[in-house]
């Protein structure tokens, strides 16, 4: 799908709305079921920068989904050689949430910070690069892009990927989920890995067998429909309860690196059949 940026007419409409109804938007967040891409989400208190709601390519929705630690969405890019691979955009500090975006934007936006690093699309955007310190943390460098000659924010992101998870999988980690099959007396936790079409190709499966009081972990390979067709056993450990997988365990698998598992997934994807597995290396 082609990139959907704001047109000149839409930029004019956003600017006029922000000018005439400034008090409505400054330092507050507007939530409405009738919002469109050009609706104003908020305006910053110092420099009156405008966060339009936006879409997958620009504005508040774009920057939040690409750079927030708390949104689990995979992005894919096509290289000059025509190869499709995962894009790994830089992530905000895990303590940074959308209510902090205005403070970052105001800290970075100034004439002294304009175009101090390379701007790849100067005909469309003005670029600002500056520093912001979140709470007691050390200042970090951020980039802010506004539509040219406006205060309308296109995107904003950290310069470094220091807060990104360590990942090696050639597939995108999806939403971790769990289920409990009472009839068969077991519970599952599933970590899916998806291709660019959103189809599950591999998954980490953690299964609790209540009758045996044991927990086993596997990697599954899925067919073209996303159905499991191949299973690799990695290890097991004893349990002493009949609990489901709670939020803490699910969050752990969602938010921490799973490199040991991902290396095996990559080997399976490469067609390697003789995979050496050391159960002692797997954490769960």
**C-beta of residue 151 within 8 angstroms of C-beta of residue 50:** yes
User: Residue range 133-145: average pLDDT?
Assistant: 94
Distances in whole angstroms, Cα of residue 121 to Cα of each of 11, 127, 146, 183: 17, 9, 11, 58
The mean-pLDDT minimum among 30-34, 194-198, 234-238 falls in: 30-34
C-beta of residue 264 within 8 angstroms of C-beta of residue 232: yes
E strands, the chain, are: 40-43, 50-52, 75-78, 84-87, 125-132, 140-147, 153-158, 172-173, 177-181, 186-194, 200-209, 214-222, 228-238
- Percent of the chain at pLDDT exceeding 90: 74
Model confidence over 65-81: pLDDT tens digits? 999 998 888 999 988 88
The pLDDT assigned to 279 comes to 66
Yes or no: say if 209 and 218 are a contact pair by the CB < 8 Å rule.
no
Looking at residues 175-191, what average pLDDT do you find? 89
User: Which residues are CB-contacts of 168 (< 8 A; sequence separation ≥ 6)?
Assistant: 259, 262, 263, 266
Q: From residue 284, how far is each of 136, 144, 176 by CA, in Å?
A: 31, 38, 14
pLDDT over 80 at 232, yes or no: yes
Other CB atoms within 10 A of residue 233 CB = 12
Residue 274 has pLDDT above 80, yes or no: no
Q: Which run of H or of E encompasses 67? A: helix 59-67
The pLDDT assigned to 113 comes to: 97
Q: Are 230 and 211 in contact (CB under 8 A)?
A: no
Q: What pLDDT was estimated at residue 277?
A: 77
Give the whole-angstrom CA distance, residue 108 versus residue 124.
Answer: 19
Q: Is the model's pLDDT at 6 over the cut of 90?
A: yes
Residue 183 reports pLDDT greater than 80: no
pLDDT at 217: 94
- State the residue for tokens 């067609």: 271
Tokens of 216: 């086993």
* C-alpha–C-alpha distance, residues 31 and 161, integer Å: 30
pLDDT at 221 over 80: yes
pLDDT of residue 184: 75
Residue owning tokens 């921490």: 256
pLDDT value of residue 205: 96
State the pLDDT at residue 253. Answer: 94
User: What integer best gives the mean pLDDT of the chain?
Assistant: 92
Q: What is the pLDDT of residue 228?
A: 86
Element (DSSP H or E) covering residue 10? helix 8-20
Are residues 221 and 201 in contact, defined by beta-carbon separation less than 8 angstroms?
Answer: yes
- What average pLDDT does the segment 223-234 reach? 88
- β-strand partners of 137: none
More confident residue, 182 or 21: 21
């Amino acid at each position: 799908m082609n990139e959907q940026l704001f047109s000149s007419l839409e930029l004019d409409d956003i600017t006029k709305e922000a000018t005439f109804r400034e008090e409505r938007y400054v330092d507050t967040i507007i939530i409405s079921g009738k919002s469109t891409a050009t609706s104003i989400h908020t305006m910053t208190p110092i420099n009156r920068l405008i966060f339009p709601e936006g879409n997958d390519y620009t504005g508040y929705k774009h920057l939040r989904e690409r750079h927030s630690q708390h949104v689990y969405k995979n992005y894919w890019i096509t290289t000059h050689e025509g190869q499709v691979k995962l894009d790994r955009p830089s992530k905000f500090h895990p303590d940074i949430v959308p209510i902090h975006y205005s403070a970052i934007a105001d800290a970075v936006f100034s004439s002294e910070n304009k175009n101090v690093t390379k701007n790849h699309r100067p005909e469309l955007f003005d670029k600002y690069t500056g520093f912001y310190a979140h709470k007691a943390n050390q200042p970090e460098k951020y980039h802010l892009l506004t539509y040219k000659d406006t205060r309308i924010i296109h995107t904003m992101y950290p310069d470094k990927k220091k807060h990104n998870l360590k990942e090696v999988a050639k597939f995108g980690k999806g939403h971790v989920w769990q289920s409990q099959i009472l009839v068969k007396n077991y519970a599952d936790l599933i970590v899916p890995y998806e291709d660019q079409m959103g189809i599950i190709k591999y998954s980490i499966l953690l299964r609790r067998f209540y009758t045996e009081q044991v927990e086993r972990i596997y990697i599954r390979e899925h067919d073209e429909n996303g159905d499991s067709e191949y299973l690799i056993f990695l290890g097991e450990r004893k349990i002493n309860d009949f609990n489901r997988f709670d939020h803490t365990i699910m969050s752990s698998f969602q938010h921490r690196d799973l490199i040991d598992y991902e290396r095996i997934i990559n080997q399976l994807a490469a067609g390697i059949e003789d995979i050496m597995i050391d159960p002692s290396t797997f954490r769960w």
